[in-house]
């Protein structure tokens, strides 16, 4: 879809959805308005009944946000897109509009904490949820039921960086008339295009790579036009009430102009950091889909475009003498100078997260270790700095435990 389909990604991400505006402004104007005036009652009637295109009220649509939506739909190859005030708003709008009591869904057993929370609560609304290791297609097949409406997965698991096979999952879902919904936040275009791989719906926390500057919270859903009627009309507008603000839509539009350049640099830096980490004495193992040591390296090469493997690297510290693994990892984290100790990802600044001490602190040790979240695990979001400076920062942090 889109006006520049026969162009390369770097061109498309700049020009798609740009549209025309009354004064010929090159940058999309920010329409900071809650409501839209009608020429007459008749004009209002036509817009409300969708007989005539147009905006009626900011919760259901806004021209700045519409430009962002058109760009995202075009670059991911979807029919329609809808921007939300957060990634969680996008996810909740999908669940709350497409599911009803009596439906069954399969959700990955390792999901971002917020999505995990939503999946946890769906049974309260009469929706059955099976939590499955979705990286194993046979387990997914076995969990399918006649009332399975959708399979929900993340393209790359957090923080273990395992990969879901989108093509295989789409085939399983479609074989029984279900949908595949993929959270593509960790693997943005030009790296991964879930809809082109067979997914029905792709979504992002735009807070991360799509905006790419660490200064907003936002989300986007890309879906077939027919599904979007309810995702927007019921999920976003009525139940969740979480439209993207025009200012934030504008910031994401601006951020996306450099998406191609940024994602390639994030991936280049992550690859350099992953290779460097693999050679370090203090490191027990490195998890990065671009390394041949990653168990799904072959799948990653097939699924991700242009030799891009993402900006995230996880690794496990060895237990040094005279210190627990938790203590050693904490000491390394506290010694970092360029990497900021913070959650989130996809910012120009490199970030480091210690799952056992931060995001997964409340998860019982046995439970988190079963999914690979040990006391020695550190997750890095490699930013846009010089790769050698990032490696040097890690080197000086490791020196504190050796
Ligand atoms: C994979 C993934 N999906 C969804 C979200 C939620 O996005 P937001 O924080 O924009 O609501 C996050 C947040 O970190 C995430 O990592």
- In a shared domain, residues 219 and 290: no
Mean pLDDT of 121-142: 96
- Residue 371's pLDDT is 83
Catalytic residue among 71, 103, 112, 288: 112
* Ligand 1 centroid – CA 65 distance (Å): 19
> What pLDDT, in 10s, does the model give residues 64-105?
999 999 999 999 999 999 999 999 999 999 999 999 999 999
Q: Tell whether the model's pLDDT for residue 186 goes beyond 90.
A: yes
- In a shared domain, residues 105 and 221: yes
d(CA 347, CA 294): 24
Ligand 1 atom at minimum distance from 218 CA: 10
Q: Tell whether the model's pLDDT for residue 162 goes beyond 80.
A: yes
Annotated catalytic residue 368: no
Mean pLDDT of 310-337: 95
Ligand 1 within 6 A of CB of 87: yes
* Ligand 1 centroid – CA 87 distance (Å): 5
d(CA 176, CA 143): 12
> What SS3 string covers the chain?
CCCCCCCCHHHHHHHCCCCCCCCCCCCCCCCCCCECCCCCHHHHHHHHCCCCCCCCECCCCCHHHHHHHHHHHHHHCCCEEEEECCHHHHHHHHHHHHCCCCCEEEEECCCCHHHHHHHHHHHHHCCEEEEECCCCHHHHHHHCCCCEEEEEEECECCCCCCECCHHHHHHHHHHCCCEEEEECCCCCCCCCCCCCCCCCEEEEECCCCCCCCCCCCCEEEEECHHHHHHHHHHHHHHHHCCECCHHHHHHHHHHHCCHHHHHHHHHHHHHHHHHHHHCCCCEEEEECCCCCCCCCHHHHHHHCHHHCCCCEEEEEECCCCCCCHHHHHHHHHHHCCCCEECCCCCCCCCEEECCCCCCCCCCCHHHHHHCCCCCCEEEEECCCCCHHHHHHHHHHHHHHHC
- In a shared domain, residues 280 and 249: no
> What pLDDT, in 10s, does the model give residues 143-157?
999 999 999 999 999
Q: Which pLDDT band holds residue 374 (cuts at 50, 70, 90)?
A: very high
The reply to whether 291 falls in a domain is yes
State which of 204, 221, 256 marks the end of a domain: 256
Ligand 1 within 6 A of CB of 393: no
Q: Tell whether the model's pLDDT for residue 179 goes beyond 90.
A: yes
Residue 141 makes CB contacts below 8 A (sequence gap 6+) with 172
- In a shared domain, residues 158 and 279: no
Let me know: does 166 contact 195? Beta carbons within 8 Å.
no
- In a shared domain, residues 234 and 372: no
* Ligand 1 centroid – CA 293 distance (Å): 27
Residue whose tokens read 């090159």: 26
Catalytic residue among 103, 165, 183, 375: 183
- Residue 93's pLDDT is 97
- Mutation test of ligand 1: which of 208, 221, 353 has the most ligand atoms closer than 8 Å to its C-beta? 208
* Ligand 1 centroid – CA 51 distance (Å): 36
The reply to whether 50 falls in a domain is no
pTM for the whole structure: 0.97
Ligand 1 within 6 A of CB of 219: yes
- Mutation test of ligand 1: which of 83, 87, 183, 360 has the most ligand atoms closer than 8 Å to its C-beta? 87
* Ligand 1 centroid – CA 219 distance (Å): 8
Q: Which pLDDT band holds residue 320 (cuts at 50, 70, 90)?
A: confident
State which of 223, 256, 289 marks the end of a domain: 256
- In a shared domain, residues 76 and 151: yes
Ligand 1 within 6 A of CB of 159: no
* Ligand 1 centroid – CA 112 distance (Å): 7
- In a shared domain, residues 314 and 196: no
- In a shared domain, residues 272 and 386: yes
Ligand 1 within 6 A of CB of 185: yes
d(CA 336, CA 352): 9
The reply to whether 127 falls in a domain is yes
Annotated catalytic residue 232: no
Q: Could you list the residue range(s) of the whole structural domain that residue 119 is in?
A: 9-30+61-256
Ligand 1 atom at minimum distance from 158 CA: 1
**CATH no. for residue 304?**
3.90.1150.10
Ligand 1 within 6 A of CB of 245: no
The reply to whether 212 falls in a domain is yes
- Residue 1's pLDDT is 63
Annotated catalytic residue 208: yes
Ligand 1 atom at minimum distance from 217 CA: 10
- Residue 221's pLDDT is 98
The reply to whether 271 falls in a domain is yes
- In a shared domain, residues 240 and 302: no
The reply to whether 319 falls in a domain is yes
Q: What is the number of domains present in the chain?
A: 2
Query: Which residue's CA lies nearest to atom 14 of ligand 1?
Result: 344
- In a shared domain, residues 125 and 228: yes
- Residue 246's pLDDT is 98
The reply to whether 37 falls in a domain is no
Let me know: does 14 contact 189? Beta carbons within 8 Å.
no
Tell me the C-alpha to C-alpha distance, in Å, between residue 297 and each of 96, 202, 228, 307.
35, 22, 34, 11
d(CA 1, CA 6): 10
d(CA 159, CA 184): 14
> What pLDDT, in 10s, does the model give residues 244-279?
999 999 999 999 999 999 999 999 999 999 999 999
The reply to whether 40 falls in a domain is no
Annotated catalytic residue 59: yes
Ligand 1 atom at minimum distance from 88 CA: 11
- Residue 321's pLDDT is 86
Ligand 1 within 6 A of CB of 353: no
Average pLDDT, the chain: 96
Ligand 1 within 6 A of CB of 312: no
Query: Which residue's CA lies nearest to atom 6 of ligand 1?
Result: 87
- In a shared domain, residues 252 and 267: no
**CATH no. for residue 106?**
3.40.640.10
- Mutation test of ligand 1: which of 92, 115, 160, 185 has the most ligand atoms closer than 8 Å to its C-beta? 185
State which of 240, 256, 272 marks the end of a domain: 256
Q: Which range, of 51-55, 84-88, 196-200, 359-363, averages the lowest pLDDT?
A: 359-363
Q: Tell whether the model's pLDDT for residue 196 goes beyond 90.
A: yes
- In a shared domain, residues 281 and 210: no
- Residue 45's pLDDT is 97
């Amino acid at each position: 879809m889109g006006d520049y389909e026969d162009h390369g990604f770097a061109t498309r991400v700049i020009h798609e959805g740009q549209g025309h505006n009354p004064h010929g402004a090159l940058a999309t104007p920010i329409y900071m308005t809650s409501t839209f005036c009608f020429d007459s009652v008749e004009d209002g009637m036509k817009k409300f009944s969708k007989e005539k295109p147009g905006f009626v009220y900011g919760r259901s649509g806004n021209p700045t946000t519409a430009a962002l939506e058109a760009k995202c739909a075009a670059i991911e190859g979807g029919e329609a897109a809808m921007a939300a005030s957060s990634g969680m708003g996008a996810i909740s709008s999908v669940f709350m509009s497409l599911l009803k009591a009596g439906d069954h869904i399969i959700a990955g057993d390792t999901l971002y904490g917020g999505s995990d929370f939503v999946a946890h609560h769906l049974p309260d609304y009469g929706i059955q949820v099976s939590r499955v290791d979705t990286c194993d297609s046979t387990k997914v097949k076995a969990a399918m039921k006649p009332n399975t409406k959708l399979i929900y997965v993340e393209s790359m698991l957090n923080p273990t960086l395992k990969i879901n096979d989108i093509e295989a999952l789409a085939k399983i879902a479609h074989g029984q008339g279900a949908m595949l919904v993929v959270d593509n936040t960790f693997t943005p275009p030009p790296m991964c295009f879930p809809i082109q791989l067979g997914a029905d719906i792709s979504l992002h926390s735009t807070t991360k790579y799509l905006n790419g500057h660490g200064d907003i919270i936002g989300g986007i859903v890309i879906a077939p036009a027919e599904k979007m009627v309810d995702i927007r009309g019921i999920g976003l507008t009525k139940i969740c009430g979480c439209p993207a603000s025009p200012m934030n839509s504008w910031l994401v539009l601006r951020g996306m102009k450099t998406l191609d350049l940024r994602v390639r640099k994030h991936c280049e830096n992550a690859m350099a950091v992953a290779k460097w980490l693999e050679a370090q004495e203090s490191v027990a193992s490195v998890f990065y889909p671009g390394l041949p040591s990653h168990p799904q390296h072959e799948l990653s090469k097939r699924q991700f475009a242009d030799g891009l493997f993402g900006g995230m690297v996880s690794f496990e510290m060895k237990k040094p003498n005279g210190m627990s693994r938790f203590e050693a990892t904490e000491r390394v984290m506290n010694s970092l100078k360029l990497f900021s100790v913070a959650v989130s990802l996809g910012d120009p600044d490199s970030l480091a997260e210690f799952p056992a001490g931060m995001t997964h602190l409340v998860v019982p040790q046995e439970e988190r270790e079963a999914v690979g979240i040990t006391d020695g695990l550190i997750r890095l979001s490699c930013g846009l700095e010089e790769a050698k400076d990032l490696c040097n920062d890690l080197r000086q942090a490791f020196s504190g435990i050796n």
